[in-house]
């Protein structure tokens, strides 16, 4: 009797265990149910080791499988050999977001290679060139959230590129990069600034080392590459890697003239906020203008003195009392600052020496011609290998490591000289009586009309610097009225979005005839 009772108990326990296993499998394979983990708040990667317990890891691995696998050397329709190593993942989750991601992965990485499944295995001779196509994936976990990363390489000298998708299995929803970073406790604005700084610093170092920047500057290509480096490093364009519990790595990049024109850049950030780095407080004063660099505080103060009041008559610049303005787009770490003049009248320029030894500048008067937005101009790449800045009479010189001095005023005037504009073409906005249009040519000429051609302006644009919203341009336009010519001046950032064939115009400052708002305008590319 005892034996029969024991047998029944064992059988019952087995049935309960089997039911539990079936239920767990159903949750994994038929849905996106969340899992409990001893380290649900810690980042973990399948490939780099995990702090999660073993059962949790097993469940996580079942959540992502491969939808397409191909490892074969084939000959294409032209008879050329090609080695294919293709692994395309899919999310094991019954939700619309998961289905969308899986379809996107299939279209991007699998569709092109499915026909090769039926191709015979190719024999390749020892001296035959056989390019390699490589596609593989990895998954980085943060609790129930995954950053699914696909790496691809298509031969040649280009590096391996990555693209990522973030997904919450517990909710069955796709996550933005910003949402995933916020779950990790990171501030999106601070994270974005850190990425911008890393990317633009790398871009500038590359330019200084390559020494081919002059021709790029004159053609307008340099300004476009620098602005695109910022634009393409928005958080939602980045790939998230979680290589350990203490840091997050964001795969950013920068533009170059080599290969495909893009080079990846890994930016590693601590998940636990680190103590602020101690940086020197840099200040300088020249006449009515002073500058302060204190960590993230980077400002210029302009006192309302007679020499500033004189700008009203000379340049139509009118300031109501003392003003303090932030320096926009100053992304480097600086070791020295000095203010000098450019030209005969009071024309203050703030020079910034980076820790890498080259010079950036803020042409205060030039920026104020187009409103009250101070933009840090592109570095004067030729002024490098510097150790300090020094005021010589009214102008600033760069003291170089080899004992020489480089006068910055003539280089600043050269860098300020007109250059080609990259956002060119004809664009329109609105309809009927609200119809507006803008025309930009590569030489800097500009025409603009509002209210269905009722107000017509023409003039020129001046390149001011690179911003995340595109190349910053200063507009100086005039229109004829019954009372004589009417001048307007403003600044705006422009970038072409080729995916929608539109120009995104973000107002910065000044009297913009197109809008009184600060939100971006989307102008449609017009042809003919």
Considering the domain architecture, whether residues 198 and 144 belong to the same structural domain is answered as no
Q: What is the CATH number of the domain that holds 406?
A: 2.40.128
Q: Does 421 or 306 have the greater pLDDT score?
A: 306
Considering the domain architecture, whether residues 103 and 57 belong to the same structural domain is answered as yes
State which of 270, 300, 322 marks the end of a domain: 270
Looking at residue 41, what is its pLDDT?
36
Looking at residue 57, what is its pLDDT?
54
Cβ 398 vs Cβ 336: under 8 Å = no
The CA distance from 115 to 272, in Å, is 48
297-305: which pairs have CB atoms within 8 A and are 24 or more residues apart?
298/326, 298/327, 298/330, 299/324, 299/325, 299/326, 299/327, 300/324, 300/325, 300/327, 300/350, 300/362, 300/364, 300/374, 301/325, 302/364
Query: pLDDT category, 186, cuts 50, 70, 90?
Result: very high
Considering the domain architecture, whether residues 407 and 440 belong to the same structural domain is answered as no
- What the block records as the tokens of 426 is 């004809």
Q: Is the pLDDT of residue 39 over 50?
A: no
Cβ 184 vs Cβ 286: under 8 Å = no
Q: Is position 183 within any domain? A: no
Range of the domain at 204: 188-270
The CA distance from 362 to 373, in Å, is 11
The contacts of residue 364 (CB under 8 Å, 6+ apart) are 289, 300, 302, 348, 349, 350, 374
The CA distance from 181 to 116, in Å, is 39
Of the candidates 140, 141, 143, which has an alpha carbon nearest to the alpha carbon of residue 41? 143
Considering the domain architecture, whether residues 436 and 401 belong to the same structural domain is answered as no
The CA distance from 437 to 428, in Å, is 4
The CA distance from 478 to 487, in Å, is 4
Looking at residue 257, what is its pLDDT?
87
Of the candidates 321, 319, 405, which has an alpha carbon nearest to the alpha carbon of residue 359? 405
The CA distance from 74 to 141, in Å, is 35
148-156: which pairs have CB atoms within 8 A and are 24 or more residues apart?
148/64, 148/89, 148/91, 148/101, 149/239, 149/240, 149/241, 150/88, 150/89, 150/105, 150/108, 150/109, 152/109, 155/131, 156/131, 156/259
The CA distance from 31 to 169, in Å, is 9
Q: Is the pLDDT of residue 87 over 60?
A: yes
Considering the domain architecture, whether residues 114 and 193 belong to the same structural domain is answered as no
Q: Is position 37 within any domain? A: no
Q: Is the pLDDT of residue 494 over 60?
A: yes
pLDDT digits (tens, 9 = 90+) for 339-365: 999 987 899 999 999 999 999 999 999
Cβ 93 vs Cβ 28: under 8 Å = no
Cβ 503 vs Cβ 496: under 8 Å = yes
Considering the domain architecture, whether residues 402 and 520 belong to the same structural domain is answered as no
Output the DSSP codes for 381-447: TTS-SEEEEEEETTEEEEEETTS-EEEHHHHHHHHHS----SS-EEEEE--GGG-EEEEE-TTSEEE
- Give, in order, the Cα–Cα distances in Å from 488 to each of 24, 310, 519, 520: 68, 19, 20, 19
Total domains present in the chain: 4
Query: Residue range 239-267: average pLDDT?
Result: 92
- What the block records as the tokens of 205 is 């170092």
The CA distance from 240 to 191, in Å, is 12
Q: Is position 180 within any domain? A: no
Output the DSSP codes for 145-157: EEEEEEEEE-STT
Looking at residue 79, what is its pLDDT?
83
Q: Is the pLDDT of residue 49 over 60?
A: no
State which of 364, 395, 416 marks the end of a domain: 416
Considering the domain architecture, whether residues 138 and 207 belong to the same structural domain is answered as no
Q: Is position 492 within any domain? A: yes
pLDDT digits (tens, 9 = 90+) for 359-408: 999 999 999 999 999 999 999 999 999 999 999 999 999 999 999 999 99
Residues in the chain: 528
Cβ 221 vs Cβ 466: under 8 Å = no
The CA distance from 391 to 339, in Å, is 8
**Angle at which helices 221-231 and 188-210 pack, to 10 degrees?**
150
Considering the domain architecture, whether residues 403 and 337 belong to the same structural domain is answered as yes
The contacts of residue 146 (CB under 8 Å, 6+ apart) are 60, 63, 64, 139, 140, 166, 167, 169
State which of 117, 143, 175 marks the end of a domain: 175
Query: pLDDT category, 58, cuts 50, 70, 90?
Result: low
Poorest-pLDDT segment among 19-33, 53-67, 168-182:
19-33
Q: What is the CATH number of the domain that holds 113?
A: 3.30.565.40
Query: Residue range 239-251: average pLDDT?
Result: 94
Considering the domain architecture, whether residues 307 and 333 belong to the same structural domain is answered as yes
The CA distance from 6 to 309, in Å, is 100
pLDDT digits (tens, 9 = 90+) for 66-81: 999 999 999 988 888 9
Query: pLDDT category, 273, cuts 50, 70, 90?
Result: confident
Q: Is the pLDDT of residue 4 over 70?
A: no
Q: Is position 211 within any domain? A: yes
Q: Is position 17 within any domain? A: no
Considering the domain architecture, whether residues 165 and 60 belong to the same structural domain is answered as yes
Helices (H), 323-403: 364-368
Cβ 91 vs Cβ 167: under 8 Å = yes
Q: Is position 275 within any domain? A: no
Q: What is the mean pLDDT of the chain?
A: 88
In this structure, what are the phi and psi dihedrals at residue 127, rounded to the nearest 5 degrees? -95, 10
Of the candidates 502, 468, 427, which has an alpha carbon nearest to the alpha carbon of residue 197? 468
The CA distance from 51 to 54, in Å, is 9
Q: Is position 31 within any domain? A: no
Considering the domain architecture, whether residues 168 and 198 belong to the same structural domain is answered as no
Q: What is the pTM of this model?
A: 0.87
Considering the domain architecture, whether residues 448 and 483 belong to the same structural domain is answered as yes
Output the DSSP codes for 218-233: HHTHHHHHHHHHHHTT
């Amino acid at each position: 009797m005892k034996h029969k009772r024991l047998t029944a108990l064992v059988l019952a326990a087995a049935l309960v265990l089997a039911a539990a296993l079936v239920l767990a499998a159903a949750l994994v394979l038929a849905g996106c149910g969340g899992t409990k983990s001893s380290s649900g708040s810690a980042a973990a990667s399948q490939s780099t080791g995990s702090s999660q317990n073993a059962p949790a890891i097993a469940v996580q691995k079942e959540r992502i499988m491969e939808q397409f696998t191909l490892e074969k050397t084939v000959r294409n329709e032209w008879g050329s050999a090609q080695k294919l190593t293709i692994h395309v993942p899919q999310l094991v989750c019954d939700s619309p977001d998961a289905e969308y991601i899986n379809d996107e992965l299939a279209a991007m990485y699998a569709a092109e290679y499915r026909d090769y499944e039926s191709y015979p295995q190719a024999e390749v001779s020892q001296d035959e060139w056989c390019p390699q196509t490589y596609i593989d994936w990895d998954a980085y976990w943060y609790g129930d959230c995954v950053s699914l990363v696909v790496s691809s390489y298509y031969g040649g000298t280009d590096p391996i590129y990555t693209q990522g998708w973030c997904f919450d299995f517990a909710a069955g929803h796709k996550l933005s990069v910003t949402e995933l970073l916020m779950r990790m406790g990171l501030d999106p604005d601070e994270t974005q600034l850190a990425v911008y700084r890393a990317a633009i610093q790398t871009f500038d170092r590359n330019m200084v080392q390559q020494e081919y920047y002059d021709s790029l500057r004159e053609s307008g290509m340099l300004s476009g590459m620098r602005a695109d480096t910022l634009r393409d490093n928005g958080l939602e364009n980045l790939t998230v890697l979680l290589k350990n519990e203490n840091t997050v790595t964001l795969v950013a990049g920068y533009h170059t003239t080599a290969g495909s024109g893009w080079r990846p850049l890994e930016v590693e950030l601590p998940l636990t906020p680190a103590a602020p780095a101690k940086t020197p407080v840099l200040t300088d004063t020249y006449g009515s203008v002073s500058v302060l660099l204190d960590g993230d505080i980077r400002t210029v103060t302009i006192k309302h003195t007679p020499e500033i009041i004189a700008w009203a008559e000379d340049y139509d610049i009118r300031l109501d009392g003392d003003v303090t303005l932030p320096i926009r787009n100053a992304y480097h770490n600086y070791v020295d600052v000095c203010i000098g003049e450019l030209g005969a009248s009071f024309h203050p320029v703030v020079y910034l020496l980076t820790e890498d030894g080259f010079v950036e500048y803020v042409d205060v008067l030039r920026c104020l011609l187009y409103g009250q937005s101070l933009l840090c101009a592109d570095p004067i790449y030729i002024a490098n290998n510097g150790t300090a800045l020094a005021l010589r009479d009214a102008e600033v010189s760069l003291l170089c490591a080899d004992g020489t001095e480089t006068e910055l005023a003539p280089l600043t005037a050269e860098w300020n000289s007109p250059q080609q504009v990259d956002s060119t073409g004809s664009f329109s906005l609105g309809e009927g009586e609200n119809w507006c249009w803008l025309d930009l040519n590569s030489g800097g000429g500009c025409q603009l009309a509002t209210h269905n051609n009722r107000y017509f302006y023409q003039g020129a644009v001046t390149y001011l610097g690179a911003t995340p919203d595109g190349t910053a341009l200063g507009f100086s336009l005039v229109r004829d009225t019954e009372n004589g010519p009417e001048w307007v001046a403003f600044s705006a950032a422009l970038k072409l979005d080729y995916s929608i064939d539109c120009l995104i115009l973000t107002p910065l400052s000044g009297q913009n005839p197109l809008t009184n708002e600060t939100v971006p305008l989307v102008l449609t590319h017009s042809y003919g």
